[in-house]
Structure 1
Amino acid sequence: MVGPSRSRETEDPPLPEPDRKATMSRWLPLKAFRQGSPLFGNDVVDDDLSEGIAREELSGLAYMFWGRIVVLGFLALWVFFTLPLERSGAYLLAIVTFALLGAPPYLLARRGLGGNAVTAVFLLLDAGVLCLILLVPPPFYVEGWTPQINLRLPNILYAGIFLVGMALSYSPTLVVWTGLSLTAAWAAGYLWIASLPGSVTNTSRQMLDGGFTPEEVIRRFLDPQSVSLTVLTNQVIFLLLITSLLTLAVWRSRRLLRRQVAAEAQRSALSRYFSPNIVRELSTSGDALIRPERHQAAVLFADMVGFTGLSEGRSPEALMGLLSEFHGRLARTAFAHDGTVDKYIGDAIMVHFGTPRTRDDDPVRALSCAVAMIADIESWSRERQRFGSEPIHLGIGVHYGDVLVGNIGDERRLEYTILGDAVNVASRLERLTREIGCTLVVSDNLVRAVRQAGGDPAAIAPALKAYPARTVRGRKAPVAIWCDTEPA
């Protein structure tokens, strides 16, 4: 029997899919973020913007549908309790019919089968049915009631309510279409009644300038067959004005919506490059990050021990998956402790606490983060072993001291980072874990800072033991350290 190839032997068995989004972190020019440079990833932002607008439009259809249901529900209750049963039945049937007409565009849009064209067709049908209900008197009206008399009722107000409800759509186009459809349907119905046999049409100018006496004007106005074209003109103007104002309001709301969605899209895209605390700072006072500042911070370096051996024989895809999972776990732990992920360096990660703003508990969170990282990687390592993969070992170094926080590079390519002796010492302490044979090495500076902040190093990291001072590369004076193993 032929055995599997070496590359297959060293590939890890499939593990649960990691959270890829939490692992994405790169460097990004802050100036490019504010100016909308292609370096920011406008394709991502445009996609997010389009998706955000589409979500809001679907949400608008939902509000329109449920708003219609609520309003019609109130009308149904009002009809049921105020009208006799023989009259309320027909009205309730009309209300139910109008309610059902609002369901198809919303349901189709939810399934991705509809769109503005489908919605426009149903809105045209809505306008026609609504005007039919409002203009044509039902057969159970009192004897002698004519369609012409029905024109004198304030039914146009219900049409106005329907039109106002379109403001929930976030679509100026749909508002204009609905207003024009409703106006056309109303005018067509009104003129149809005016054209019926026996209808007597008149205008205000005819009534006032026709030489009629006041008694004749009143008699013509009260005539059951009288139809005022002036009233129709006023109603059409009313609908068109409401349509214009609503269109302007929805257009302005949509602009504000686009700005809000764009800001969220940019924030989302920015979070793929920066830690959450940096994103918050950029969202509120981005210019503050441009100015370099000197203060104290805790610096943490975490590295995968034996990465060279683990990477031997692995395909690039498998190696990338391993690093993504490793980085993702460390980054999530860092974010949970409100740390700033500075960069990924191969199989290592650099995190600092005290940026962009210092806090009293920076050293406490740094030590707690280191302990949590170790626990998480140990848990992952046991899980890998159950699947038949090699265990993962970690080395972490943490130091507390003065740093310079700000941007380095030029205006075309900036990197927000920290510089200073504290960074170098933390990196050297992480390297000491191999020499000493431990997982965690922290400086005495950090331990003292934890105590000064009100924390208890023994409670946070019970395994820590004082270790003889060590000389690290790049420093003349030895560094007092603590390790999670007993001194030899």
Structure 2
Amino acid sequence: MNPRARWTGDANIAQAIVRAERNGIAFSFQVRALVLLIVAVWLALTVPMPRVLYWHGMILLFLLSGFLPYRMRHRAGWRWWLAGFTLIDAALLTTILILPNPFFDTGWPIQTQLRFHNQLYLFVFLACALLSYSPGMVLWTGLCIAATWSVGTWLIAGLPDSLAGLPQGLGGDAQGSLQTFFEPHFVDLNRWANEVVMLLIVALVGAVAVWRARRLLHRQIDSERARGHLSRYFSPDVADRLAREGSRLDASEQRQVGVLFVDIVGFTGLSEGQSAERVVALLRSFRTRMARCVFAHGGTLDKYVGDEVMATFGSLDAGRRDAANAIACGLAMLEEIERWSAKRRQRGAPAIAVGIGIHYGSCVVGNVGSASQIEFTCIGDTVNCAQRLERLTRELGTPIIVSEAVIEKARDELAGEADALAGFTTAGRHALRGRLGDMAIWRLGEPTPLIAPPPAAQTNPSSTPLASEGAA
């Protein structure tokens, strides 16, 4: 993909990520509100009055600290607001977990608050940060709660009556270690270090998980964008492969390719007197039917030029039956046109006739588009000859003209199935306009008139619904 298109695509992805982050803030607040409601109900059932009032007050304060960034998520500098309130949240949660309830005096020293596994609530708070869809915010949340929990722990450890450190004689005097450990004023700094390390590890893993999710989203969007563009020209399996190997589009190479041109005979007469909507509907139906035949035979839809369709076989990857597939595609196109014409005749519309030219030879294959658009195509004398053969069908009165090169190549590919070419007969050598020398050609069946009926033979255009042009 060219740099400008890639930049535009990345800008669109970045905007989508920002929307996802803002939606994550909203969703995080909704989850927080639900969790706090559940906690409030649980406390009301398990904690007596007036002791529960303190916890309900803290819950309301915690709900408010989440509501403010929720309201400011669409304002300028919203990430700074979110970072600031994340620090406030972490400090508030640490305060709630460490300070004792002022409405209920247990008689236990404040140091015992660090032994009730309250730090587990910090991991729940960190898990909610994953909803932000921002790796930086997950890391910031981990740093904030690790810092505030450390500050709270060290403030308690610094109290005059605190016995901070590690149990003495841990490697020798087991009795002394246990006495130190069960001392109510003891603050285990080893436990604090483990808690902080685990918080930071979980924050790092969570940030990496969010980063990988975002990277996967980028790749999926890039792949779908490329596939959406390529699927207009290639069969679905080829489009999938090209979307995965997009760099191949920029390389040019010489390849042996089967080239097919098909267009509507007498299109000017068919469209004369018709409304623009009906002409467009006719073209769309024709192109859709022809593209279906191309893809069904492993071909590549190269381009549309008015009512003319160019398809190639073997332009992406050389196959074992490229020439035979090109011929089979041409025959399938005739069958499809006959079915379509039968439906048109039933409603009084004129039949459709087409001319098809097929050649096989060397082409230059690659992306010849501009900096803002991919155009994977074939160029060279083989393409020009196929187009001239398609124009020659009018003169010889046959729906398909193929070069002898296609016939010979198809015979080699088909081996024992060469009877598939039985409908073709040699038509000698003919000169092609704009090309020196002549070419040996083959045609399908006996000469038949290909010119569509004049406009006077058509029914009133207004009597046929527009949608009927696209009937299957």
Q: Does the C-alpha gap of structure 1 residues 429 and 182 become closer, same or farther in structure 2, counting only changes over 3 Å?
A: same
- Structure 1 partner of 2:284: 324
Distance in 1 (alpha carbons) for counterparts of 2:288 and 2:269: 21
Aligned to 2:208, which of 234, 240, 249?
249
Aligned to 1:403, which of 363, 368, 379?
363
Give the residue type in structure 1 aligned to 2:230: S
- Structure 2 partner of 1:480: 441
Question: What secondary structure does 2:402 align onto?
Answer: strand
Distance in 1 (alpha carbons) for counterparts of 2:240 and 2:338: 30
Q: Does the C-alpha gap of structure 1 residues 50 and 392 become closer, same or farther in structure 2, counting only changes over 3 Å?
A: farther
Q: Is the 8 A contact 1:327 1:349 kept in 2?
A: yes
1:248-286 alpha-carbon deviations (Å, 9 max, x no partner): 525753674365246425523652675464884585374
Q: 1:412 deviation in Å?
A: 9.5
* Stretch moving more, 314-323 or 444-453: 314-323
Distance in 2 (alpha carbons) for counterparts of 1:480 and 1:202: 102
- Structure 2 partner of 1:446: 406
Q: Is the 8 A contact 2:359 2:385 kept in 1?
A: yes
- Structure 1 partner of 2:297: 337
Q: 1:300 deviation in Å?
A: 0.3
Give the residue type in structure 2 aligned to 1:171: S
Q: Is the 8 A contact 2:227 2:242 kept in 1?
A: no
Q: Is the 8 A contact 1:171 1:254 kept in 2?
A: no
Question: What secondary structure does 1:343 align onto?
Answer: strand
Q: 1:308 deviation in Å?
A: 1.0
Distance in 2 (alpha carbons) for counterparts of 1:41 and 1:321: 33
1:382-424 alpha-carbon deviations (Å, 9 max, x no partner): 5556676554433222122333445669989996433444323
**Structure with more relative contact order (C-alpha pairs < 8 Å, separation 6 or more):** 1
CA RMSD of aligned residues (A): 6.0
Give the residue type in structure 2 aligned to 1:245: L
Q: Is the 8 A contact 2:252 2:364 kept in 1?
A: no
Q: Is the 8 A contact 1:289 1:356 kept in 2?
A: no
Q: Does the C-alpha gap of structure 1 residues 151 and 233 become closer, same or farther in structure 2, counting only changes over 3 Å?
A: closer
Q: Does the C-alpha gap of structure 1 residues 372 and 313 become closer, same or farther in structure 2, counting only changes over 3 Å?
A: same
Question: What secondary structure does 2:414 align onto?
Answer: coil
Q: Does the C-alpha gap of structure 1 residues 168 and 414 become closer, same or farther in structure 2, counting only changes over 3 Å?
A: closer
- Structure 2 partner of 1:468: 427
Q: Is the 8 A contact 1:170 1:253 kept in 2?
A: no
Distance in 2 (alpha carbons) for counterparts of 1:167 and 1:235: 22
Q: Is the 8 A contact 2:430 2:440 kept in 1?
A: yes
Distance in 2 (alpha carbons) for counterparts of 1:387 and 1:54: 54
Give the residue type in structure 1 aligned to 2:377: T
Aligned to 1:172, which of 116, 129, 135?
135
Distance in 2 (alpha carbons) for counterparts of 1:250 and 1:238: 18
Q: Does the C-alpha gap of structure 1 residues 412 and 365 become closer, same or farther in structure 2, counting only changes over 3 Å?
A: same
Matches for 1:271-350 after TM superposition, within 5 Å: 271=230, 275=234, 277=238, 280=241, 284=245, 286=247, 290-293=251-254, 295-350=255-310
Distance in 1 (alpha carbons) for counterparts of 2:288 and 2:12: 23
Question: What secondary structure does 1:446 align onto?
Answer: helix
Give the residue type in structure 1 aligned to 2:385: V
- Structure 1 partner of 2:324: 364
Distance in 2 (alpha carbons) for counterparts of 1:55 and 1:449: 56
Give the residue type in structure 2 aligned to 1:429: L
Is 1:417–2:377 an aligned residue pair? yes
Q: Is the 8 A contact 2:256 2:362 kept in 1?
A: yes
- Structure 1 partner of 2:315: 355
- Structure 2 partner of 1:152: 115
Matches for 1:79-94 after TM superposition, within 5 Å: none
Q: 1:356 deviation in Å?
A: 3.1
Q: 1:326 deviation in Å?
A: 2.6
Q: Is the 8 A contact 1:49 1:265 kept in 2?
A: no
Question: What secondary structure does 1:203 align onto?
Answer: strand
The percentage of counterpart residues that share the same residue type is: 33
Give the residue type in structure 2 aligned to 1:49: I
Q: 1:438 deviation in Å?
A: 3.8
Q: Does the C-alpha gap of structure 1 residues 136 and 170 become closer, same or farther in structure 2, counting only changes over 3 Å?
A: same
Q: Does the C-alpha gap of structure 1 residues 325 and 244 become closer, same or farther in structure 2, counting only changes over 3 Å?
A: same
1:196-227 alpha-carbon deviations (Å, 9 max, x no partner): xxx9744229x88xxxx998875453145x46
TM-score (norm 1): 0.59
Distance in 2 (alpha carbons) for counterparts of 1:331 and 1:247: 47
TM-score (norm 2): 0.60
- Structure 2 partner of 1:203: 164
Q: Is the 8 A contact 1:305 1:395 kept in 2?
A: yes
Aligned to 1:49, which of 1, 10, 13?
13
Give the residue type in structure 2 aligned to 1:328: T
Give the residue type in structure 1 aligned to 2:138: V
- Structure 1 partner of 2:187: 228
Could you tell me which runs of 5 or more consecutive residues in structure 1 were left unpaired when the two chains were aligned.
1-32, 65-88, 91-115, 138-143
1:422-452 alpha-carbon deviations (Å, 9 max, x no partner): 3233222222333344433333432332221
Distance in 2 (alpha carbons) for counterparts of 1:476 and 1:183: 84
Distance in 2 (alpha carbons) for counterparts of 1:381 and 1:185: 79
Give the residue type in structure 2 aligned to 1:203: A
- Structure 2 partner of 1:9: none
Question: What secondary structure does 1:338 align onto?
Answer: coil
Give the residue type in structure 1 aligned to 2:134: S
| Residues paired across the two proteins, number | 402
Distance in 1 (alpha carbons) for counterparts of 2:161 and 2:350: 95
Q: 1:483 deviation in Å?
A: 0.7
- Structure 2 partner of 1:113: none
Question: What secondary structure does 2:363 align onto?
Answer: strand
Is 1:268–2:227 an aligned residue pair? yes
- Structure 2 partner of 1:238: 197
Question: What secondary structure does 1:327 align onto?
Answer: helix
Could you tell me which runs of 5 or more consecutive residues in structure 2 were left unpaired when the two chains were aligned.
29-44, 47-77, 101-106, 450-472
Q: 1:322 deviation in Å?
A: 3.4
